[in-house]
Structures are given as C-alpha cells and as structure tokens.
Amino acid sequence: MSVFSLKIDIADNRFYNGETSPLFSQKQAKAARQFHQKIAGYHPTPLCALDDLACLFGVKKILVKDESKRFGLNAFKMLGGAWAIACLLCEKYHLDIETLSFEQLKNAIGEKKMTFATTTDGNHGRGIAWAAQQLGQHAVIYMPKGSAQERVDAILNLGAECIVTDMNYDDTVRLTMQHAQQNGWEVVQDTAWEGYTKIPTWIMQGYATLADEAVEQMRALGVTPTHVLLQAGVGAMAGGVLGYLVDVYGPQNLHSIIVEPDKADCIYRSGVKGDIVNVGGDMATIMAGLACGEPNPLGWEILRNCATQFISCQDSVAALGMRVLGNPFGSDPHVISGESGAVGLGVLAAVHHHPQRQALMDKLALDKDAVVLVISTEGDTDVKHYREVVWEGKHPIAL
C-alpha cells in the first residue's frame, strides 16, 4: 500500500449538546418524500455497498448513496427545490399539499405564473429550473464567477434564464435578493438570513428524502450506521440530513463528520469557534457546490448541536474520492461522483493512505465494527473536469 499525506484538518465539536430540531424530524421528511413519490419518474436512488473497499479500509461496511440517479438531473438538489416551490405555490393559492400530486398541483395553478430566483453553484439552480419548468413557472438563476459552462447550459436547457456574475457565491446571493425585490420575484434560496427562514426550511426538509430512503435501504440490508460523512457548502443538506438521522438513531448513537474544502471551510471554522464564522474571497476550489463562505443559520444550529467532528480538506482529497469511486476495488459497484459528491469517500481513502493512519482512524472512531454512510451528492456535472481528474490525473496526490 502506498503512503501519502493529504491535508485533513479534524476539529472535535466542543459545543455538541445533542439537541435535535422538530423542524427536521422523521415526520417532516416523510411528508416531503410522500410528495416526491408522486412525481413521475420517482424511484429511490441506489445505496451502493462497497464491501471490498470496506474490508481494505478496515471497517465493517461502506455505503454510498448515489444521487447521480435522481430524476435524470445528476444530483440530489431538486428534492429541496421541488418541495419548497410546491409548498410556496400551495401557500399562495390556498391548496393542500398533502392531497395533491405534482401533476395535480400544476393543473390547480393553471395559467398563474410566478418567477423564482436563486443563486447556485450549479445543482441547486438546476433543481429550481427543473421544478419551475415542470410546473409551468419561470426561473432566473444567478451563478458566481468561474461557473462551468456545462453547468450553465444544463440550466438554460431547462428553460430558465441564467446569469453568471463576476462575484463569489455569497455576494451573488445578495445580488439575487436585490434583483428579486426590484422585479417582484420569489427568492428560493437554500440558505437563511434574518426574516428569511421559511423557504430554506422547506428546502432542507426536502433534502431529507434521500436520508429517509437511505434508512429504509439500510434496514433492508439489516445494518445500522455508526458513522455518516456529510459534505457542506452553506450546510443546508448536511443540516437537513443530519437532523433527520439523529431523530431516527439518536445523536449519541451516530458519529457524524462534516466535510468541507479548505478554501471555503466556514462550517469548520464555525465549529472551532462555536459561533458562525464567514469566509470571504474567491474560495477557489474544485468542489464548486461547496464553495460557500457563509453558513445557513438553520443548518448551522443542527450541526453545532449534533455533529461529532468537522473536517477541512484540500481539493486532492475530493479528486482521490472521485478516482476511487470511478475505479472500484474488487467486485464493488462503479459510482460516478463529481467533485462535491466524492469528498466524503475521499476522506476515508486519504485516511487509509496516511502515514498516521491508525491515529486518524482512532480519532474518527473508525474500526472493524464501523458502518459508514457516505452521500455522493452529484455525478459528473462537469464532464470535462471529471475526465481531467479521473482519466488524466488532475489534482494528484502529490503536494
């Protein structure tokens, strides 16, 4: 086995208190999932058991939830966007979301039109554009500078407007708010701020569908997770999924690890301080979906209360995860995972090859009894860059 050292900074959560939130409970998740199940083409995404890799890494089981198979959109994000837009339309037009299917909702609103605006690094905006198109509505999607053309095209192909700014993600969010206020658009953003919490709460609840599926799938396999690795940008997915999982298993029974790129590690820094810390600048990372510098306060509260540890890591960790998943060990299934999707598995691989492997295994409480759940949140949403990493070795392990 080759030995190499990639940057993996681990911070224990000194502010953990185990307090769960009723906003992100099993009840809320199941309501969202029942709606998702009524959308044509719905099926649970695969939970891939990497048993040979688990044996190599010295743990009992590694389970990868493959969100590249979600509604043909190559990422999980539509779960939050579709649920939030549906809740918003039902609230506006006095409809009962519990009794309506997606198609019935579209028929009920008829010719009524709304414009939904949001900021995205790619996947969230694509989900909003898809939901708006499916429901006969309009979407205006803003993206930060440096956004890949393939991700822009994916949004345009869904009939939305797409505007790439010369700003970073967080400044683009502020621009989106300004333009929405000027034009009377509805902002559907996956982060919260003072006076804006209802819609991001719905989005986070929608994300929990993937966790509800995973729990059902793990029960069918007869396993209970001891660990979960969740990547974070603003922390909406991490918070929504962790909130659900700790409601199912109890926070004391789940070792939860939040992973971020070191160039945009606002959750990690917040975890060290115990209060929200923002990160500015370009946040230049290949993990475009995680290049966010300001935590979602709703997600942060759950992560502060219930996450076990926070990790800040370099881009090569994500690239390693992409290559390991794309070149499976033994008879394990093949998973196409993008930069933001593969970083959790990349952490496990980087620990395995690290010169202080056992010390890191001990710190993360990884042993022969560990059952590790990882969420691959996206596929190859930027095919060109995916191939550069997986085929051509871009972002190698050498520092």
DSSP string, 249-297: H-GGG-EEEEEEEGGG-HHHHHHHHTS-----S----S-GGG---S--H
Neighbours of 135 (CB within 10 A): 18
Give domain limits for the chain.
8-75+199-390, 78-197
The pLDDT tens digits for 374-385 are 999 999 999 999
What is the rounded distance in angstroms from the CA atom of residue 204 to the CA atom of residue 86?
A: 14
For the domain covering 78-197, report its CATH number: 3.40.50.1100
Q: Answer whether residue 146 shows pLDDT above 60.
A: yes
Cβ–Cβ under 8 Å, residues 373 and 214: yes
The pLDDT tens digits for 164-179 are 999 999 999 999 999 9
What is the rounded distance in angstroms from the CA atom of residue 366 to the CA atom of residue 263?
A: 26
In Å, the largest CA–CA distance within the chain is 62
What is the rounded distance in angstroms from the CA atom of residue 187 to the CA atom of residue 81?
A: 11
Return the percentage of the chain with pLDDT > 70, whole number.
99
Q: Which CATH class is domain 8-75+199-390?
A: alpha beta
Strand partners, 23: none
Q: So what's the pLDDT on residue 223?
A: 98
Strand partners, 375: 65
| Residue 387 phi, psi dihedral angles, 5° rounding | -70, -35
The confidence band for 397, taking pLDDT boundaries of 50, 70 and 90, is confident
345-357: burial string, b at 16+ Cβ within 10 Å, e else: bbbbbbbbbbeeb
Q: So what's the pLDDT on residue 211?
A: 99
DSSP strand pairing (8-12 vs 309-313): antiparallel
The confidence band for 122, taking pLDDT boundaries of 50, 70 and 90, is confident
What is the rounded distance in angstroms from the CA atom of residue 336 to the CA atom of residue 334?
A: 7
Q: Answer whether residue 398 shows pLDDT above 90.
A: no
Q: Do 78-197 and 8-75+199-390 have the same topology in CATH? A: yes
Q: So what's the pLDDT on residue 111?
A: 85
Mean pLDDT of 391-398: 90
Q: Answer whether residue 102 shows pLDDT above 90.
A: no
Return the percentage of the chain with pLDDT > 90, whole number.
93
Q: Among this protein's residues, is 275 annotated catalytic? A: no
Comparing CA positions, the residue from 352, 347, 324, 349 lying closest to residue 336 is 324
Mean pLDDT of 70-90: 96
**Identified catalytic residue from 61, 65, 69, 77:** 77
Q: ∠ CA 64-70-73 to the nearest 5 degrees?
A: 125
What is the rounded distance in angstroms from the CA atom of residue 270 to the CA atom of residue 235?
A: 11
Mean pLDDT of 8-30: 97
The confidence band for 215, taking pLDDT boundaries of 50, 70 and 90, is very high
User: What is the average pLDDT value for the chain, to the nearest integer?
Assistant: 96
The pLDDT tens digits for 309-364 are 999 999 999 999 999 999 999 999 999 999 999 999 999 999 999 999 999 999 99
Q: Answer whether residue 399 shows pLDDT above 90.
A: no
Cβ–Cβ under 8 Å, residues 121 and 233: yes
CB < 8 Å & 24+ apart, contacts of 150-154: 150/381, 150/382, 150/383, 150/384, 151/121, 151/122, 151/123, 151/126, 151/288, 151/381, 151/382, 154/122, 154/126, 154/381
Q: Answer whether residue 243 shows pLDDT above 70.
A: yes
Q: So what's the pLDDT on residue 273?
A: 98
Mean pLDDT of 73-95: 95
Q: Among this protein's residues, is 121 annotated catalytic? A: yes
Three-class SS of residue 375? strand
Q: So what's the pLDDT on residue 282?
A: 86
Cβ–Cβ under 8 Å, residues 248 and 204: no
Tokens at 43, concatenated? 């099926």
Between residues 229 and 398, the one the model is more confident about: 229
Comparing CA positions, the residue from 389, 301, 317 lying closest to residue 10 is 317
Let me know if 111 is exposed, middle or buried by CB neighbors in 10 A (0-12, 13-18, 19+).
Answer: exposed
Mean pLDDT of 62-81: 97
DSSP symbols for 30-92: HHHHHHHTTSTT--PPPEEE-HHHHHHHTSSEEEEEEGGGSTTTTBSTHHHHHHHHHHHHHHH
**Identified catalytic residue from 61, 65, 121, 190:** 121
- Indicate the Cα dihedral angle 315, 241, 99, 195, nearest 10°: -80
Is 0.85 topped by the overall pTM? yes
The confidence band for 1, taking pLDDT boundaries of 50, 70 and 90, is confident
What is the rounded distance in angstroms from the CA atom of residue 32 to the CA atom of residue 76?
A: 14
